[in-house]
Chain A
Amino acid sequence: SAVISQKPSRDICQRGTSLTIQCQVDSQVTMMFWYRQQPGQSLTLIATANQGSEATYESGFVIDKFPISRPNLTFSTLTVSNMSPEDSSIYLCSVEMRGGSYNEQFFGPGTRLTVL
């Protein structure tokens, strides 16, 4: 299993500013994912972040809005840039770890972002 921590756990931000969310894992992992959970909605994948390569973004998400860093095998950051109230969501970090024939996915506690 993996223990994942996120900072901050929650924040309230002003429109037009940016927030960087940190994700720390207690073991080395190749695959890390960032999800968004808008109020009352399901989890939507933003991007996949592999160490040593550029993040791969899902349809509807772009690097200018959600830049991601992956400097090593235990850490990643997601920045929400030029925020608007529509960015108010829970942002979750997730990692994939190999377990036999299946790679299991673990989730961090999430960062609850409110944009005023």
Chain B
Amino acid sequence: AQSVAQPEDQVNVAEGNPLTVKCTYSVSGNPYLFWYVQYPNRGLQFLLKYITGDNLVKGSYGFEAEFNKSQTSFHLKKPSALVSDSALYFCAVTPQYSGNTPLVFGKGTRLSVIA
């Protein structure tokens, strides 16, 4: 069965500094990987995904993530954090095959960007 680990419950970063939110995964075969963001009292919003191809994936709001197969990681990054980036971030995985398997989510990491 697939699983996702987000080792940090909380990440604090100063505005303008780079941010990293960590994610590692376990899945049979190759993965499809995702990052979602949840703002207070809002639904999940899709940020970016890795399906195939370039290991560095660029997504919404200046975020990017790097797929590292040897380390089974998919860390979320942004070069310069904004206060408005403060939210709850979820990493998710599903195995890469033609069947229909719903996403499995990590526990989430709360990002706090301090002005």
Contacts and interface: CB of A to CB of B under 8 A. Distances in A.
Interface of A: 30-31, 33, 41-45, 48, 92, 94, 96, 101-110, 112
A108 to B, nearest CB: 6
A110 B43 contact: yes
19 contacts: A41-B107, A42-B90, A42-B106, A44-B105, A45-B102, A45-B104, A48-B102, A94-B102, A96-B100, A96-B102, A101-B98, A102-B32, A102-B51, A103-B100, A105-B94, A105-B102, A106-B46, A109-B43, A112-B41
B49 to A, nearest CB: 8
Question: What 3 A-B pairs have minimum CB-CB distances, sorted nearest first?
Answer: A109-B43, A107-B44, A42-B107
Interface residues of B, number: 22
Nearest to A48: B102
Contacts of B46: 106
Contacts of B36: 107
B103 interface: yes
Contacts of A96: 100, 102
A104 B51 CA distance: 10
Nearest to B108: A42
Nearest to A6: B43
A48 B101 CA distance: 9
Contacts of B90: 42-43
A110 to B, nearest CB: 5
Given A41-B108, A102-B32, 18 more contacts: A42-B105, A42-B107, A43-B44, A43-B90, A43-B105, A44-B105, A94-B102, A94-B103, A101-B52, A102-B51, A104-B49, A105-B34, A105-B94, A105-B102, A105-B103, A107-B36, A107-B43, A110-B44
